[in-house]
């Protein structure tokens, strides 16, 4: 029967696994205490922790949890890195630290509920830093959005170009008679429907007024001709009167 101390230890190990976002399992042999303290200090930022655990207690703690698959990569002297921030950066530090140390290397890990093998963790360690990766992702998303906008706008732009080209073609192919008609229609004065329309009436009245004096002048010139004629004829009669009187005297 397991002792109370081991039961408590299993509970503590389970809490560590439950609280971690990602995990890295490393083969851990031949490391001095000073070296272990050095690597712990390098990865501690963001709440990351490196712990050397007993495999038996670790497997008991993982049994029945969503991280139970991790027991497949726990073998031999093992250290587990509990990662809560920047998995790629932590893996990169560990890989750099393992250079020249044969007893330290990746055995696997876990990202969320996905099991990672040694090759997966090694690939993650080659990723750029978190800030650079975020900037690259932002640039990629921005580029994709620009591409989407271009794709959406392209048909409308193409339609406008086609309509403009068709309009130019119709203007070039229009018959001369139609163009002449359009030009005449543009040159013809627009009919006045406002206050300026009655202006023509005074002109008609002026014309009539001019005709009346002309007729009066014509009548005035012709009228004196008759009195002169009468005046010339009237004296002719008195010339005969003396002859008649003379004859009566005789």
Read off the CATH number of the domain in which 34 is found.
3.30.70.1730
* 246 pLDDT more than 70: no
Kindly state whether residues 158 and 54 are assigned to the same domain: no
Task: Report the C-alpha gap between 38 and 149 in whole angstroms.
Answer: 51
pLDDT at position 212 is 47
Contacts of 70 (CB under 8 A, 6+ apart): 17, 23, 25, 62, 108, 109, 110, 115
Task: Report the C-alpha gap between 250 and 247 in whole angstroms.
Answer: 5
Kindly state whether residues 30 and 94 are assigned to the same domain: yes
Task: Report the C-alpha gap between 40 and 54 in whole angstroms.
Answer: 18
Task: Report the C-alpha gap between 125 and 111 in whole angstroms.
Answer: 13
Kindly state whether residues 136 and 114 are assigned to the same domain: no
Q: What is the CA radius of gyration of the chain?
A: 60
pLDDT at position 183 is 59
Q: What percent of the chain has pLDDT over 70?
A: 64
Kindly state whether residues 145 and 36 are assigned to the same domain: no
Residues 59-71: what's their mean pLDDT? Answer: 91
Kindly state whether residues 123 and 14 are assigned to the same domain: yes
pLDDT at position 131 is 77
The pTM is what?
0.54
Select from 105, 127, 149 the last residue of a domain. Answer: 127
- The structure tokens listed for 234 are 């009237």
Contacts of 81 (CB under 8 A, 6+ apart): 23, 24, 25, 26, 43, 48, 49, 50, 51, 90, 94
Is the sign of the CA dihedral 127, 41, 18, 66 positive or negative? positive
Residues 82-106: what's their mean pLDDT? Answer: 90
pLDDT at position 31 is 79
> Is 194 a domain residue?
no
Kindly state whether residues 107 and 96 are assigned to the same domain: yes
Kindly state whether residues 26 and 120 are assigned to the same domain: yes
3-state secondary structure of 146: helix
Task: Report the C-alpha gap between 20 and 82 in whole angstroms.
Answer: 6
pLDDT at position 161 is 75
> Is 185 a domain residue?
no
Kindly state whether residues 87 and 136 are assigned to the same domain: no
Kindly state whether residues 119 and 63 are assigned to the same domain: yes
* Listed ranges 58-62, 130-134, 212-216, 246-250; the one with the highest mean pLDDT: 58-62
Residues 34-56: what's their mean pLDDT? Answer: 87
Task: Report the C-alpha gap between 96 and 47 in whole angstroms.
Answer: 20
> Is 38 a domain residue?
yes
Kindly state whether residues 88 and 19 are assigned to the same domain: yes
> Is 212 a domain residue?
no
- The rounded mean pLDDT for the chain is 74
Select from 163, 189, 213 the last residue of a domain. Answer: 163
Show the domain range for 138: 128-163
Select from 127, 155, 176 the last residue of a domain. Answer: 127
* 44 pLDDT more than 80: yes
> Is 73 a domain residue?
yes
Task: Report the C-alpha gap between 58 and 40 in whole angstroms.
Answer: 20
Residues 196-223: what's their mean pLDDT? Answer: 48
Kindly state whether residues 9 and 108 are assigned to the same domain: yes
pLDDT at position 92 is 92
* 135 pLDDT more than 70: yes
> Is 54 a domain residue?
yes
> Is 137 a domain residue?
yes
* Listed ranges 121-130, 147-156, 208-217, 239-248; the one with the highest mean pLDDT: 121-130
Reported as a pLDDT band with limits 50, 70 and 90, residue 247 is very low
> Is 140 a domain residue?
yes
Task: Report the C-alpha gap between 174 and 215 in whole angstroms.
Answer: 57
* 17 pLDDT more than 60: yes
Kindly state whether residues 33 and 81 are assigned to the same domain: yes
Q: How many domains does the chain have?
A: 2
* 82 pLDDT more than 60: yes
Reported as a pLDDT band with limits 50, 70 and 90, residue 23 is very high
């Amino acid at each position: 029967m397991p002792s109370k101390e081991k039961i408590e230890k299993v509970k503590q190990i389970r809490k560590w696994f439950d609280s971690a976002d990602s995990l890295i399992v490393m083969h851990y042999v031949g490391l001095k205490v000073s070296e272990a303290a050095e690597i712990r200090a390098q990865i501690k930022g963001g709440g990351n922790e490196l712990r050397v655990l007993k495999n038996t207690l670790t497997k008991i703690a993982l049994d029945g949890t969503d991280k139970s698959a991790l027991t497949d990569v726990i073998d031999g002297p093992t250290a587990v890195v509990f990662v809560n921030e920047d998995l790629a950066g932590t893996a990169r530090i560990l890989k750099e630290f393992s250079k020249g140390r044969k007893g330290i290397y990746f055995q696997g890990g876990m990202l969320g509920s996905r099991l990672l093998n040694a090759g997966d963790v090694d690939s993650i360690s080659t990723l750029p830093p978190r800030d650079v990766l975020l900037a690259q992702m932002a640039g990629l998303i921005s580029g994709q959005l620009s591409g989407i906008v271009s794709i959406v706008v392209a048909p409308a732009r193409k339609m406008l170009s086609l309509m403009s080209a068709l309009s130019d073609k119709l203007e070039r192919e229009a018959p001369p008679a139609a163009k002449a008609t359009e030009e005449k229609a543009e040159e013809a004065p627009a009919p006045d429907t406002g206050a300026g329309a009655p202006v023509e009436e005074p002109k008609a009245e002026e014309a009539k007024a001019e005709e009346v004096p002309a007729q009066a002048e014509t009548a005035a010139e012709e009228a004196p001709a008759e009195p002169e004629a009468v005046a010339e004829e009237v004296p002719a009669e008195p010339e005969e009167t003396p002859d008649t009187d003379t004859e009566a005297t005789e």
